[in-house]
Amino acid sequence: MVVAIARITLYLPENHSLKGKRKVVKSLIEKVRHRFPIAIAEVEDHELWQQAKLGLALISNDAKILDSSLTKIMNYIEAQHLAQIIDSQIEVWHV
């Protein structure tokens, strides 16, 4: 079994309130969950208006599949034009 965990830092340049941030982040999370079989949640920077950190987790039997899936998910998030990915960290564990 292979487990991948990712932390993605998003920049929301058009956002000017926590209410607006919650709307954008909630929308992105729902869109990603609907399209991909993944666990995803906002994990840090809850008090910042223009930045959000999302945590993602995937399980598979092949590390290449996980890498491909994470790449597709990050491309999908960028393609929504709601936020920019400014940083990402990925860890893969073979269990």
What residues make up the domain containing 28?
Answer: 2-94
* Mean pLDDT to the nearest integer, 24-29: 93
Name the pLDDT band for 14 (thresholds 50, 70, 90): confident
Q: What is the pLDDT of residues 59-79, one digit of tens each?
A: 999 999 999 999 999 999 999
Return the number of other C-beta atoms located less than 10 Å from residue 78's C-beta.
Answer: 13
What pTM did the predictor assign? 0.85
Smallest CA-to-CA distance from 60 within 2, 8, 9 is with: 2
Q: Tell me the percentage of the chain whose pLDDT exceeds 90.
A: 77
**Encoding tokens for residue 53?**
């950190």
Euclidean distance between CA atoms 94 and 63, whole angstroms:
8
CATH number of the domain within which 45 lies: 3.30.70.1120
Number of domains composing the chain: 1
Give the whole-angstrom CA distance, residue 57 versus residue 92. Answer: 10
